Amino acid sequence: MARREYRTDEIVVHWDSSRCIHTGICLRSLHSVFNLRRKPWVDVRAAAAEEIVATIEKCPSGALGYTRPEGPGEAAPDVTTIVPSPGGPLFVRGDVEVRDADGGLMAAGYRMTLCRCGHSQNQPFCDLSHRDVGFTDNPRVIADHRQEAADPSGVSEQSTG
């Protein structure tokens, strides 16, 4: 596992390999900058800083981050969302802190993918172990929660009964 920084005068790209869940979003979104066939795989001079920012903010895990020496940093999302991916982690976006049972800070950030299979060796983050253990959702549970969120009063359920 590695942490790296790639910098120009306009932007510093931060890379934490332990957080990557290999979605390939960065590679598809800005191949001139993010290219696994090159060493180093990030060429921060190959695109405008704004393009790099736009791609990094799509990274769901927070493996990629950035700071701007003179410009605005990443803004916190207005709304915090937690999305369970089918058979995989929780996709979290928001101004989030993960704390342990004693209140100790485990992680903080605006983008993270949290393990919900229980098998990650990099808790609280997903490390793709869910694939090895064949983690699956109970689709009925997700459907039930969706129904409750859409109609917390339960009125429509009663009226159809």
The residue ranges that bind ligand SF4 (CB under 6 A) are: 20-26, 59-61, 63-64
Q: Which range in 51-59, 74-82, 123-131, 139-147 contacts ligand FES by CB under 6 A? A: 123-131
**Residue showing tokens 């490390």:** 127
Residue 124 within binding range of ligand FES, rule CB under 6 A: no
88 forms part of the interface with ligand FES (CB under 6 A): yes
120 scored as a contact of ligand FES (CB under 6 A): yes
Classify residue 47 as exposed, middle or buried by CB count within 10 Å of its CB (0-12, 13-18, 19+): middle
Choice between 19 and 130, CB closer to ligand FES? 130
- The CA angle 152-85-91, to the nearest 5 degrees, is 85
Least distance between ligand SF4 and beta carbon 12 (Å): 16
Which of residues 52 and 59 has its CB atom nearest to ligand FES in the complex? 59
Distance CA 57, CA 141 (A): 30
E-only strand ranges, 8-138: 12-16, 64-67, 81-84, 90-99, 105-114
Q: Which does 124 bind (CB under 5 to 8 A by kind): ligand SF4, ligand FES, none?
A: none
- 117 binds ligand FES, rule: CB under 6 A: yes
Contact call for residue 19 and ligand FES (CB under 6 A) = no
State yes or no: residue 130 binds ligand FES (CB under 6 A).
yes
Let me know: does 10 contact 53? Beta carbons within 8 Å: no
Q: CA-CA distance, 26 to 57, in Å (whole number)? A: 9
SS3 state at 67:
strand
Does 52 engage in binding with ligand FES (CB under 6 A)?
no
Please give the residue ranges that form the binding site for ligand FES (CB under 6 A): 88-89, 115-117, 119-120, 126-130
